Structure 1
Amino acid sequence: MKVLVLGGAGYIGSHMVTYLQAQNIGVVVIDDLSTGFSDSVAGVPLYQGDFANQELLQQVFKEHQIDAVMHFAASSQVGESVLNPEKYYSNNLCKTQVLLNIMRQHQVINIVFSSTAAVYGSPEQALIDEQHPVTPINPYGRSKLAVEWMLQDYASAYGIKAVCLRYFNAAGAAIDASNGERHDPETHLIPLVLQALSGRRHGIKVFGTDYATPDGTCIRDYIHILDLAQAHLLALNWLLTQSSCTYRAFNLGNGAGFSVCQVIATAKEITGQQLNEEASARRMGDPAVLVASAEQAKQVLGWKPQYTQLQEIIAHAWAWEQKLAGL
């Protein structure tokens, strides 16, 4: 089997590539390297460019016998999506349609799509399952939901087989600290906190301290990057056993949320360091709580996350941060 990984040099994509290689699965990567790093996929065929470039896609599908696509290439910042929705509908929705049409030309019908719990918007219950209404409150979530709808329609009309995996906060790093988050600029909470603790950043801003949560800060469901990789491969293997015209969405989560204050406190405990904290205004489009039930993924796909404790997620991320900081 050979898998085309879009956005494969990015944070989640590169860990997926390593995971696939460990299972002796062939991998080809397309990444424009705007946020990814070529050294994270060394030794893997890497085509640098836009995943919606038709000439590039035609070349890749002609040169390789692709069996399935894993799609991680997207713009993913909530605040930016509110300020610049055109970018999000273009990058996330329109470009994915180009991809799907090229896949159809080459009779590649299997795709695992990296979606998001942001499709649910503000939760109506403590634990979000797949039956929760999808009412995203920002352009990022809406653009991802629009892709899900398109995949569902393409499955029905053209025989595409698609799984959408809805998760919120990917976190952690490779166990051996060989890979991890290195966005520039960084916007994710855990690496921002750790950069402040390692001395690479002056301090940390806490966006919103007046939410209706126990400590007033946002609560999120953090999922270890290796558990995400495991889930994507399980989703692909399940997809390959299904008949044509298959569409299914699964949540991926720990079923337990952690607040911004809890993340900061745990990071301080693990590192033994202190940092400057600054209360700041809420960010546009941020719901107070997002915690997902992943019972369907566990029951149908056989997903068994291995790293569910916040302490181990942050510990692995800290080992990576120490490497980046030269500590």
Structure 2
Amino acid sequence: MTETAAHLRDERRGEPMRILVTGAAGYVGRAVVHDLLAHGAEVVALVHEHVPDLPDGVETRHADLTDSAATSAAVRGTHGVCHLAGLARARLGSRPPTRYHAVNVTGTAHLLDALATETERTGRPANLVFASTSSVYGRPARHPVDEATPRDPLHPYAATKAEAEDLIGSRVATGALGATTLRIFNAAGASAGRADQDLTRIIPRAVAVATRPTSPLDINGDGTAVRDFVHVRDVAAAFTRALRANSPGRHAVYNLGAHPASVRDVVESVERLTGRPLPLRHRPAVAQEARVLIADTTAIRTALGWTPTTEGLDDLVHDQWRTAQRAEATP
């Protein structure tokens, strides 16, 4: 496969690919925008409400994916889509399952319809990379999990991601779409000076406690639960590679992980790198979460030549900590 240093270009016209990024204002979406720009793409950022802090030259379009007409207008004139918009945060029980379905499933259906309309207009097959989640696997019996592991989503967020995957697969079967689904395990670290600000996730939460130790770090269970962490820049690089590799009538599915670690490992890494002990408070384990979830990434390494650029958990924690320190020092 061509190295990702090569530019993303429309082969028919020899011009830069024009890529729409849904959810461009989000943590991973922003990293994807920067990686696409670094590889010569023209980027269109699709956001719902506010104007994101994105580099010069990025066009911003506003649309709610639950609005089919607005979604169709947003897709017009693009060569491909990186689809990251959606409702996440699986533990937020205040959101009804119907809301997850409306955004994550109906929104994806509207996006697929918009891509089909654009294909009819241009004669060019559509190109899609979809951000899915490791939580579609539920509580698998064997580890690491590969892409053939049966899906068993245990909450509305995971269920809607699995349903969106199936919608994409059905549209790919028509031959008018080439798509890749990336099942992201746990993105972490910083990109373009912005670290993860979602304190529902363990690394930013632990670093936040180290930065401002005003309250203890809540841990669900005994801290032995294992997750697989991958740098957000490496996730973004996978989107770029997948866009280039897509072909009409093919739906590739890949896991994205890099560094398995327990919650205790994260705590120890934060304490070691910051030199600050973390006050801990244990809460009951969450029934809808796997105790162990580790990615087999053989498929994406083989097919796309993707490899993580970080060496271990400490790299991700240090990146989060360094960025948090800079933010603290900024008046």
TM (norm. structure 2) is 0.88
Q: Aligned pair in 2 of structure 1 residues 93, 81: CA closer, same or farther (>3 Å)?
A: farther
2:243 counterpart (221, 236, 243): 236
1:75 counterpart (87, 110, 117): 87
Q: Which consecutive residues of structure 1, in runs of 5 or more, have no partner in the other structure?
A: 210-215
Q: Which consecutive residues of structure 2, in runs of 5 or more, have no partner in the other structure?
A: 1-16, 120-124
Which amino acid letter does the alignment assign opposite residue 130 of structure 1? E
Q: CA deviation at 1:158?
A: 5.5
Q: CA deviation at 1:119?
A: 1.0
Aligned residues: percent identity?
28
Q: Aligned pair in 2 of structure 1 residues 119, 49: CA closer, same or farther (>3 Å)?
A: same
2:30 is paired with a residue whose SS is helix
Partner of 2:142: 125
**Distance in structure 2 (CA, Å) of the matches to 1:88 and 1:81:** 11
How does 1:52-201 map onto structure 2 within 5 Å? 52-62=66-76, 65-80=77-92, 84-107=96-119, 109-157=126-174, 159-174=176-191, 178-183=193-198, 186-199=199-212
Partner of 2:300: 297
Q: CA deviation at 1:56?
A: 2.8
**Distance in structure 2 (CA, Å) of the matches to 1:221 and 1:147:** 23
Partner of 1:226: 233
Number of positions where the alignment pairs a residue of Structure 1 with one of Structure 2: 309
Partner of 1:248: 252
2:279 counterpart (253, 276, 279): 276
Would you say 1:2 and 2:39 are equivalent positions? no
> Which contiguous aligned blocks of 4+ residues in structure 1 show a shift greater than 3 angstroms?
40-43
Report the more deviating stretch, 156-165 or 38-47: 38-47
Q: CA deviation at 1:326?
A: 2.6
Partner of 1:203: 216
Q: CA deviation at 1:59?
A: 3.1
8 Å Cα contact 1:78-1:285 kept in structure 2: no
Q: CA deviation at 1:83?
A: 5.9
Which amino acid letter does the alignment assign opposite residue 250 of structure 1? Y
8 Å Cα contact 1:31-1:51 kept in structure 2: no
**Distance in structure 2 (CA, Å) of the matches to 1:206 and 1:225:** 23
8 Å Cα contact 1:30-1:49 kept in structure 2: yes
**Distance in structure 1 (CA, Å) of the matches to 2:56 and 2:288:** 37
How does 1:310-325 map onto structure 2 within 5 Å? 310-325=313-328
Q: Aligned pair in 2 of structure 1 residues 128, 141: CA closer, same or farther (>3 Å)?
A: same
**Distance in structure 2 (CA, Å) of the matches to 1:227 and 1:246:** 23
**Distance in structure 1 (CA, Å) of the matches to 2:235 and 2:35:** 10
TM (norm. structure 1) is 0.89
Partner of 1:212: none
**Distance in structure 2 (CA, Å) of the matches to 1:56 and 1:192:** 36
Partner of 1:307: 310
